[in-house]
Chains A and B, each alone.
Chain A
Amino acid sequence: MRLVLIAVVVGFARIAHADGTLLGDDTWNFKPGNELAIDGGLVVALPAALPAGQALGVGGGFSYGRGLAWGARAEGLTATEGSEFWTVTHRELRLRATGAATTTAGRATIGLRLGLGGNLVHETRTRNQASRLMSDVFETRAIALLPGADLAFVIELHIAGHWLFELAGGPTIDVVASNAHFGWSTELGVAWRP
């Protein structure tokens, strides 16, 4: 066993020596890239229609332009919350057409992004305790497309090469049962600008 461990350590040491240093002077050099940016990441937001809880999911999109950019985004989110009688799961697909105003400061790109579109919400409600009855008659399903909009403060930071770290967040609004429903949304992810 000792011999195996020694062989592994020595082997790795030789590989490292052969490749040289892991970090070089140009490791953190970045390339501004062109006007297209593609991003994706984790999204945390208030559910579009559920009155409680947090929705978690992933999102991604693209934008085109510098200074003024346009693009599109899609986010898939899920939230499950319970009451005395129901366990409700909302699966949301948030689709947005976006327009953004940005400025560059060193490695960072800072901007405001406005998104307009809709939230496609699929609702599954399970009557609490119904599973003990081995019955699915106590489950309801519904789907709705809710008009929605959001405003996000976006920071993109060039890390290396064409890759950027991205952080975005801001208020959201959508219309549920003819009532405005306010919320918030945040995204933590990476972007790629070729």
Chain B
Amino acid sequence: MASVKSLVAIVALAGGCDSLQNFGGAVPPLVTIDLRVDGALPAGTVAPKVALMWGQAWLTEPLCIIPPDSDSAAAAIAAGCRDAFGFVPDHVGADVDVVPGEPIQISLSSLPAADVLVGDVTARVAYASLVLYDDRDASGTLELSRPHRLGGREDGPPDEQGPDSVDVVLATSFLSMTHPDQRLAYREGAFVTTAYYPRAGCGDPLPGFSIDGAGGFSAADAIAATLGGTLPQEDPATCSQLAPAATTVALVLPGDPDVREIACEERRSDSSIRFREPPEMEPDLTMRTAACTQLASFGAPPAMPQTQFVISGRPDECKGLTHYVLRGCREDANCELPDWDISATPPTWWPCP
């Protein structure tokens, strides 16, 4: 009888000490990053937050990096081309509120998906920038905007006239490869140096998550290295690869004047251009910069040269260029069988020779 009582007691005790959690309990984040804001938030900041923004492998269009053929083309490029070495967002992975004077930590509950990772399954990497912004629309996250390109004629592609985000970007840890940066790196498998936000000269990112720093290189060095078939070198003295728990990412205020470009996503990432047929009515060029310039290409010059009319976006919009050609296809202005050819009867407003 005593043994039965003991058995019942043991069973009851074990049942009382049930430590099973099933699907419940706290969910540990896969990584937590410590942040700090250096400098005062601008007056009128409504809801400061930090976003973790994964980067897109992006290649600028040829016109934006090949030397311009005129001053007007240079002006249009300056107004309509984003930094060719800048960080281009793919999507926002996490957001966290910023309370002035309190430590900031941002955590990830999921790893970047395969569409963000660059490389194959044995060696792939993704980079993220940490962005301080004012969540003006109180949506809880940083919405991205797109360049507004002008429309074409009837059979042209649709306009991209979606509303812009009202969120205001204040600072970022990784704006451009031509600036010093601190980026979140996520590495799976081995590391292979590629042209995806390269840090040649620095150490490899640590396996898993790491906070990687680099001093940046100049655009001239990058172009020279690219022409030489290499990657621009970072100064090793400016490099760092640290575990997230071993460092704090600084977001410095005031941010770079072009910092809002980091919240501009790109429709195309492979340097390709969507050409448009010029409309019959002159497009609204108010606050835009336009120029006539030759078609640019990373390859051989076109067999049938023609002039394009490029128009920048407005200064308060994401940078982007609209390309009008009198003869061509959407994807290729030099196509053999053009979708349109009005070179013999250009619109009356057509300004180019």
Contact = CB atoms under 8 A, between A and B. Distances in A.
A147 interface: yes
Contact of B14 (A86, A135, A145): A145
Given A86-B23, A133-B208, A140-B21, A145 B30 contact: no
Contacts of A127: 27-28, 30
Contact of B30 (A51, A88, A133): A133
Contact of B11 (A81, A88, A118, A134): A118
B19 interface: yes
A132 interface: yes
Given A51-B22, A121-B20, A176-B20, A146 B14 contact: yes
A177 B23 contact: no
A72 interface: no
B109 interface: yes
Contact of B17 (A117, A125, A144, A176): A144
Interface string A127-159: 101101111001010111111000000000000
Interface string B56-70: 000000000000000
**Dominant secondary structure at the A interface:** strand
A175 B251 CA distance: 52
B207 to A, nearest CB: 7
Nearest to A85: B27
Given A88-B23, A123-B20, A133-B111, A144 B15 contact: yes
B208 to A, nearest CB: 5
Contacts of A85: 23, 27, 109
Nearest to A51: B22
A21 interface: no
Most buried by A among B23, B28, B208: B23
B12 interface: yes
B19 A129 contact: no
B188 interface: yes
How large, as a class, is the contact surface on chain A? 20 to 34
Contacts of B111: 129, 132-133
B22 A138 contact: no
B21 A147 contact: no
A144 B19 contact: yes
Contacts of A147: 11-12, 15
Nearest to B14: A145
Contacts of B10: 145
Interface residues of B, number: 24
A27 interface: no
Given A138-B30, A144-B14, A147-B15, A123 B188 contact: no
Contacts of A142: 19-21
Contact of B22 (A49, A146, A175): A49
B18 interface: yes
A50 B18 CA distance: 13
B110 interface: yes
B20 A144 contact: yes
A125 B23 CA distance: 8
B110 A145 contact: no
Contacts of A146: 14-15, 18
Interface string A76-107: 00000101011010100000000000000000
A134 B12 CA distance: 38
A146 B19 CA distance: 11
Contacts of A118: 11, 14-15
B14 A50 contact: no
A144 B18 contact: yes
28 contacts: A49-B18, A49-B22, A50-B22, A51-B22, A51-B23, A81-B23, A83-B23, A85-B23, A85-B27, A85-B109, A88-B23, A132-B111, A132-B188, A133-B30, A134-B207, A134-B208, A135-B208, A138-B28, A140-B25, A142-B20, A144-B15, A144-B17, A144-B19, A146-B15, A147-B12, A147-B15, A177-B18, A178-B18
Given A132-B111, A142-B21, A144-B18, 10 more contacts: A118-B11, A121-B20, A123-B21, A127-B27, A129-B30, A144-B14, A145-B11, A145-B15, A146-B15, A147-B12
The 6 closest A-B pairs by CB, nearest first: A145-B14, A83-B23, A144-B18, A142-B19, A85-B27, A129-B111
